[in-house]
Structure 1
């Protein structure tokens, strides 16, 4: 049994034995870690699982308390844990032969970049004294990130109708690092925010860790209802609206220009910051952001990790110069700086033309995989796919059974799938699956058809 599971069972045992009742306070993360000689991260993982199972609840600026009366519920270790953290871990280590639950492109498609060759060139530059490579940092480097790479990003964004300067760009270790910096800077315990439901599950975990008040707006195949959004803004008075307008994770859908105009007008009127997450920027050919050059305050987040390589931990934030300055200082406090070696590899990829060639091949392959996966899945009676942006990886559809039971059935068939319920920040309103189109094969299609939709 893992350490976090032991912590879960300690709390549950106290509840089931009557030592802790509904409303009673449970030890803080620090106190629990010290008492049982485990790390705070272990306790955080345990408490997140207990929160998702409703054994406990978090009250802003107060702590953790016993939640619903679940004293007659079987112990949690009787059924598998399956939370957002589990899904993230499974995407990294899962050894199933079939992996439609994966988040990234298959490794064989990314290996063609031959990153090892560029790593060697980047290493060679450490020993070079030529003026040609004088931009390569030998120390901690510019705290905002590699100067050349930020300049190259300015050019990339300008070709996508987004006019910025290098002082508007901060390099990070990826989208999740960017989101963490934004949350730390703008939000404190109890602050209200709005997130999409279903939406990006790692974001929910970060907000919960900071005990932020999460309000949800439904994301449907048609987008976001502007009337519902306005009512929610008036009621909750959020500081931030977190959005993924294009190729959304998990649904794979886009917001229409009209819908984005409605959202932009509301956020301008009520002074709500839009944090726009765009992981598939480099896989798209259209404008980078509808919102950025508008009148509402916007922070734009993207990454190289999704479309170049998961091992290239490099993302970026684009915002006003004052916001970038504040986030840069926070970056220095938390991680000192990002990796000059990784950033220099990206310089090589961009300036040599290798990245352009890679992305063109990836776009062509992505379109092919979209067509193939959609054709295969549309043959299953009762399965209706949501609209799909072919630049993204994900397809989304509702299913007629508990999606966590579907996960266990898939596991028994050596298939790794992602249950839709993990993408809802609160109780799901329906059961669904998110599948990665690059991993749709005959075995996966047969499983979905027979085990989930019961067609034999």
Structure 2
């Protein structure tokens, strides 16, 4: 006979001791009745007080026994089914799902807790761009990843994003269930128009195309404007992910040496005459990996060369909100000087708001924007309108500006200290940045080998070889000052750096 549970029935055949199915429910606790029921039943299943295969009380029985509505019971059972605790058998009711046996040393998450993913170890050789990107997404503590390219989650404002998400969820359901439009949410594009105006970039909503982050923005631009055999210029060093992306399209990737105030103009002139590039991708503000910014003089020279040699400048400004503003520190954006004639401007919110929202954008001439929106539609149809509405809500409510101020202040609080500690280890930093999250440091040894030793100890470094299109061995590496606060990182560097050993 099937074992049917009731509030007073034993969960194990042959035993008379009653087991309460749900603890006393409270309407004043601040926790919904549904969540209380789910938490209580889940805990009993985790503790093996409710055994697999046991039949749950009917919806009517449960509601009557606990003084709740049938709707509350249905919603609770549905949640338990979705979380793998119950199964629904058509015409027969709800049953406790058989739970898989846990491995040695493993424990089920307690009721109401979020199941945490097991911590992963870093891959070992070969060290290349794919290796670094793959390991940046491992489920390991951020403090163990000084080579990562993002801020720690605790530095971001989760409640701000959660509040915006709740507000969006209360909108008319029809707005949440359909595709967006190829250009992206009009509300967000109108808000971005105001944000761009503060940077002295004039753009209408028709000149803005939303994307799934700056990564997709770069990919769309490359697919639209590059053909096999074309040349694309990048800074050297620069963000590594685009090298392979451009090469996969059949383009030739050429690095332009990056100096403290922008590209080496003499080298850029010579290379442009030889290669006649179609695109030049550049960080004007808070260059990755050095956190330096383009000077106004260099910006004018780059624009002049773009006109002379007929190439498009792709200005990646993903770190825009980590810069304190031109009133505090010099910051020149070529899109503001050029007003989107030869410049395609890219931005996004993955670094300062939430990477998981995957919201970026392209700003360009209206004709190019229409072409890129069509390209986006053919590639991915549309981007997530829900994520874009969340970003719009955050930006329009005014809390984001204060959040960005707090993040910059926190970076300022650790940057100088981190640089001093690196210099005490006899590492060389050509230009000490005054904003941003990155430091481009010379370790005085092959950083690929250093990275291998670090990964064996569960630490992720970003060797300099990956930041150059040539991928040659390098003594440089990129360090994230927000991820340099763990003593284990400093112990490793002190032990492994050759000049650190010599200094002792």
1:356 corresponds to which of 372, 381, 401: 401
1:104 aligns with 2:150: yes
1:199 corresponds to which of 235, 238, 258: 238
CA distance in 2, matches of 1:247, 1:193: 21
> CA RMSD of the aligned region, Å?
2.1
CA distance in 2, matches of 1:291, 1:314: 20
423-432 vs 318-327, greater mean Cα deviation? 423-432
310-319 vs 440-449, greater mean Cα deviation? 440-449
CA distance in 1, matches of 2:356, 2:391: 12
Secondary structure of the structure 2 residue equivalent to 1:219 = strand
Distance 1:267 1:386, change over 3 A: same
CA apart distance, 1:421: 0.5
1:345 aligns with 2:390: yes
Contact 2:238/2:468, CA 8 A, preserved across alignment: yes
CA apart distance, 1:390: 3.8
CA distance in 1, matches of 2:164, 2:262: 41
Higher relative contact order (CA 8 A, sep 6+): 1
Contact 1:200/1:250, CA 8 A, preserved across alignment: yes
333-342 vs 262-271, greater mean Cα deviation? 262-271
1:124 aligns with 2:170: yes
1:276 corresponds to which of 312, 315, 319: 315
For residues 426-445 of structure 1, the C-alpha deviation after alignment (integer angstroms, 9 at most, x for no partner) is 14373211000001133323
> How many residues were matched structurally?
371
92-101 vs 307-316, greater mean Cα deviation? 92-101
For residues 376-411 of structure 1, the C-alpha deviation after alignment (integer angstroms, 9 at most, x for no partner) is 222222x11132444321101122222111012112
1:416 aligns with 2:416: no
Query: What's the counterpart of residue 184 of structure 2?
Result: 145
CA apart distance, 1:324: 0.3
TM-score, reference length from structure 2: 0.70
For residues 75-95 of structure 1, the C-alpha deviation after alignment (integer angstroms, 9 at most, x for no partner) is xxxx71211111111111152
Distance 1:427 1:202, change over 3 A: closer
2:488 corresponds to which of 443, 451, 455: 443
CA distance in 2, matches of 1:428, 1:392: 26
1:302 aligns with 2:347: yes
Contact 2:237/2:468, CA 8 A, preserved across alignment: yes
CA apart distance, 1:227: 1.4
CA apart distance, 1:350: 1.4
Secondary structure of the structure 1 residue equivalent to 2:148 = coil
CA distance in 1, matches of 2:182, 2:332: 25
Contact 1:274/1:299, CA 8 A, preserved across alignment: yes
Within 5 A, what are the aligned runs for 1:305-316? 305-316=350-361
Contact 2:199/2:336, CA 8 A, preserved across alignment: no
Query: What's the counterpart of residue 234 of structure 1?
Result: 273
Within 5 A, what are the aligned runs for 1:22-421? 80-95=125-140, 98-127=144-173, 136=175, 138-284=177-323, 285-286=325-326, 289-294=333-338, 297-381=342-426, 383-421=427-465
CA apart distance, 1:312: 1.4
Contact 1:174/1:314, CA 8 A, preserved across alignment: yes
Distance 1:385 1:124, change over 3 A: same
Q: Show structure 1 runs of 4+ deviating over 6 A.
A: none
CA distance in 1, matches of 2:484, 2:415: 10
For residues 156-196 of structure 1, the C-alpha deviation after alignment (integer angstroms, 9 at most, x for no partner) is 11011111111111100000000000010001111111111
CA distance in 1, matches of 2:474, 2:454: 19
CA distance in 1, matches of 2:231, 2:167: 47
CA distance in 2, matches of 1:273, 1:190: 16
CA distance in 2, matches of 1:218, 1:421: 14
Structure 2, unmatched stretches of 5+, are: 1-123
CA distance in 2, matches of 1:150, 1:374: 39
- Asked which structure has the greater CA Rg, the reply is 2
CA distance in 2, matches of 1:352, 1:94: 32
Distance 1:445 1:220, change over 3 A: farther
Secondary structure of the structure 2 residue equivalent to 1:126 = coil
Secondary structure of the structure 1 residue equivalent to 2:383 = coil
Contact 2:246/2:253, CA 8 A, preserved across alignment: yes
CA distance in 2, matches of 1:235, 1:352: 50
Contact 1:312/1:342, CA 8 A, preserved across alignment: yes
For residues 224-249 of structure 1, the C-alpha deviation after alignment (integer angstroms, 9 at most, x for no partner) is 22111111101001111111122111
For residues 54-95 of structure 1, the C-alpha deviation after alignment (integer angstroms, 9 at most, x for no partner) is xxxxxxxxxxxxxxxxxxxxxxxxx71211111111111152
CA apart distance, 1:138: 4.8
CA distance in 2, matches of 1:208, 1:195: 12
CA distance in 1, matches of 2:342, 2:195: 22
Contact 1:103/1:436, CA 8 A, preserved across alignment: yes
